[in-house]
Structure 1
Amino acid sequence: MKLTADYHIHSTYSKNNHGKSTIEEIVKTSVELGLKEIAITDHGPKHFLYGIKKNKIVEAKNKIEEMRKKYPQIKILFGVESNILSINGNTDLNDDLLSLCDIILCGYHSGVVFSTFNDLWNFHVMNFLGKFNKRIREKQIEKNTIAIIGALNKYNINILTHPGDKIPVDIDKIACIAEKRNTILEINNHHHHLNSEEIIIAAKYDVRFVINSDSHIKDSIGGFTNAIKAAQKSGLDLNRIINLA
């Protein structure tokens, strides 16, 4: 059992040394691992700590074009891990970025430039308070879920990254919309979400799953040990994982 593809890999184009390997280092390692397909998906530009700089996006795409010619034995996709910026589900995707991308990932992250102060307050302060108050937590689950569903409905998102990580959400409602929008749910090897309990809930719907390494350095590309354990524990039919052979 092995992965045939890894669609969530950060490169040195994620700023502040968040990604530690160059695109060519990533490609060479992936070829050595026998992967058939990879996606370079650095954080969207509104992640003020780690996002790809706007003036580097075209440069990164051109580098991938260069790697496609140099390493024809592997399919290389250019993408982005976009960030949810508002309770309404707005992200840092725009037409210029979308026109360059072969694949779109999206997830919730802290450290982003939220759309309004109210969004900052809701995501950061209220989710923090929800850790200590059941009523607040239940309300935040509802709000967080609305934000993610909003993003799924507004954009053609290929993969929803690590749902359930960083903020609590209603996986049942998210999986229901993911089925309708044909969005693949990620079992993230690094962040441990979806976990086995979440996979059981999501698997009730006709959704597909993907295992991604969420690699930030070439040595962890193709990692799937934690994710496959969660999938097996959940009883998921492994044929529903699109990149597992």
Structure 2
Amino acid sequence: MELVIDTHTHTLASGHAYSTIIENAAASKHKGLALLCTTDHAPSMPGAPHEWFFSNSRVLPRFIHDIGILRGCESNIMNVDGNIDLLAVTTPYLDWVIGSFHEPVFPPSSKQEHTQALLNVIKSGRVDALGHLGNPRYAFDIQSVLLCAKEHNVAIEVNNTSLTGIARVGSDIICDKIVEVGKEIGVYFTTGSDAHFCDDIAKFDHVIPLLEKHQIPEDKIITTSTSRFLNFLQLRGRQAIPEFEHLY
């Protein structure tokens, strides 16, 4: 299996990452990617940049080191209502928005509350993917959330960092179940390294074996081709990106 896009990466701007977007793009080129989503943490995360950082992402060139750049954000799911910490006026400047739980922003609660928050953020239409869902501190009803994600064309992230056993310990077991159920339901999967240092860009050494274990069809993994990914964004109602015309 070949993955040509990394949809979850961080730069110095996140406050606890260690590389620039130029370094991340150079690493992407070295590792054979075609597109890179830059997804720094949204403002509610400690150390994260101001809202203006994301609205000003329009100044980023569409290609750095010949790698197509998707202007994105890892937003925080704020509450049971499924609100995220980006203003509605900001999201039109972005190509790709992940919604994730983070302890400093949404302290772990009950399975029922986590489930309701995920259902509401999906239905809001404001996120393109749900990030690192395997965290055992955020138990949720996998079946109902994935059914809702399929209905609303929200991708389910398979996060390499979650599978290492170092971060979000215990995620590997839950991620396995999510992928298993996701295949049965027919959700779209996306793949993110969650790199906080450029050497970890495109690191999918745990992601690929998990997807292959469950024999996920390539047409359900939106990162297996540029056209698949960009067409998924259009499926979600986003406008085509003229600079990427040759990649559709």
TM norm structure 2: 0.80
Q: Aligned partners of 1:55 and 1:103: how far apart in 2?
A: 16
The one-character-per-residue Cα deviations of 1:182-221 (angstroms, maximum 9, x if unpaired) are 0111110101256222211122212111121011110000
Give the alignment partner of residue 82 of structure 1, picking from 60, 64, 75. Answer: 75
- Please list every run of 5 or more consecutive structure 2 residues that lacks an aligned counterpart in the other structure: 164-170, 226-248
Give the alignment partner of residue 31 of structure 2, picking from 27, 30, 33. Answer: 33
| 1:109 and 2:102 are equivalent in the alignment | yes
Q: Aligned partners of 1:90 and 1:191: how far apart in 2?
A: 24
Aligned to 1:132: none
Aligned length in residues: 215
SS in 2 for 1:42: coil
Q: Aligned partners of 1:60 and 1:21: how far apart in 2?
A: 17
Aligned to 2:49: 52
Distance 1:70 1:103, change over 3 A: closer
SS in 2 for 1:196: helix
Aligned to 1:135: none
- Please list every run of 5 or more consecutive structure 1 residues that lacks an aligned counterpart in the other structure: 115-122, 128-139
Range that drifts further, 162-171 or 172-181: 162-171
Give the alignment partner of residue 188 of structure 2, picking from 186, 190, 208. Answer: 208
Distance 1:218 1:95, change over 3 A: same
Question: What's the RMSD between the two structures over aligned residues?
Answer: 1.9
How far is the alpha carbon of 1:74 from its aligned partner?
Answer: 2.0
Q: Percent identity?
A: 27
The one-letter code matched in structure 1 to 2:223 is: N
CA contact (8 A) 2:158 2:192 kept: yes
Aligned to 1:6: 6
Give the alignment partner of residue 187 of structure 1, picking from 147, 158, 164. Answer: 158
The one-character-per-residue Cα deviations of 1:67-104 (angstroms, maximum 9, x if unpaired) are x3553x32101111110111111111212320211111
How far is the alpha carbon of 1:37 from its aligned partner?
Answer: 0.5
CA contact (8 A) 2:186 2:220 kept: no
Range that drifts further, 158-167 or 85-94: 158-167
Structure 1 segments, 4+ long, off by >4 Å, are: 58-61
CA contact (8 A) 1:200 1:235 kept: no
The one-letter code matched in structure 1 to 2:49 is: I
Q: Aligned partners of 1:93 and 1:181: how far apart in 2?
A: 20
